[in-house]
Copies of this chain bind each other. A is one copy, B any other.
Amino acid sequence: MMVYTSKYPPFFVTVDGVVLTVRDDALCALVVTRGGEPYKGTLALPGGFVDIDEDLPVAAVRELSEETGLSVRGQHVEQLATYGAPDRDPRHRTISVAYLVVLPDLAEPVGGDDATDAHWHRVTWLLARKDRLAFDHRHILRDGVERARAKLEYTALGTSFCGSLFTIAELRRVYEVVWGVELDPGNFHRKVTGVPGFVEPSGEKASRGTGRRATLYRRGPLAALNPPLTRTAMK
């Protein structure tokens, strides 16, 4: 094994992922069960050590794939924040760069080689008690959820929770679940279809159970919303 020497004290750099989706009318995060010490057997955000020549977002995507079998190609990935309290890891001085990933509720994680298993859990459940997540991952998850909630308002992040084709009602459910409010279907429809570049009609129609068929839309090119969507419940 290679041994490195340095006149400076060693830092360890990791990446962690706050991977969010909307499942069963609840905001859910992806977690793995830790297979090694410390916190063995405890739930944790997927993540791991950054390679010495590896860019940070590349490491985040790689760890996600290795630990959960999930590919995030073409999905929303953004840097969240960096966590570096001196005592956040009992072993070493570790700096963790957290990434926020937003996925549609499609891919079922399979559990990769590093972790014993990967699961979706409701964020309300994960955050309800202080000891459900290892390290400072509760703090990281809270920040990720807060970021997602805020960005729904003034960006098109909501569409990242939907598949490539979605109905306006599906998009509305995303907002309702993430914000925990009820929105007026008619007003929401007018609002999102009225912002140029937010969503684009695909021409196709959905057949989702009973009722009139809804138009299927795809994500528009717009990233930032101006004016922002109102956060006061339109209901």
Note all chain B residues with C-beta closer than 8 A to A154: 154, 228
Q: Is A3 an interface residue (CB 8 A)?
A: yes
Q: A81-B79, A86-B53, A228-B228 are in contact. Are A95 and B13 (CB under 8 A)?
A: yes
Complex CA gap A13/B86 in Å reads 13
Q: Is A6 a contact of B7 with CB atoms below 8 Å?
A: no
Q: Considering only CB atoms and an 8 Å cut-off, how many residues of chain A contact the other chain?
A: 35
CB distance from A212 to the nearest CB of B (A): 34
Evaluate contact between B3 and A12: CB separation under 8 angstroms: no
Whether A187 sits at the interface, judged by CB under 8 Å, is: no
Query: At the interface, is chain A mostly helix, strand, loop or mixed?
Result: loop
Contact indicator A10/B13 (Cβ below 8 Å): no
For the complex, is A120 an interface residue (Cβ under 8 Å from B)?
Answer: no
Query: What is the CA–CA distance of A8 and B12 in the complex, to the nearest angstrom?
Result: 8
**CB of A57 to closest CB in B, whole Å:** 9
A3-31 CB contact bits vs B (8 Å, 1 = yes)? 11111111111000000000000000000
- Please tell me if A214 contacts chain B, counting CB pairs below 8 Å: no
Chain A, 84-107, contact with B by CB distance < 8 Å: what is the 0/1 string?
111000000101010000000000
Q: Could you write out 8 A-B pairs with CB less than 8 Å apart? A: A4-B5, A4-B8, A6-B10, A50-B84, A55-B86, A95-B95, A154-B228, A226-B231
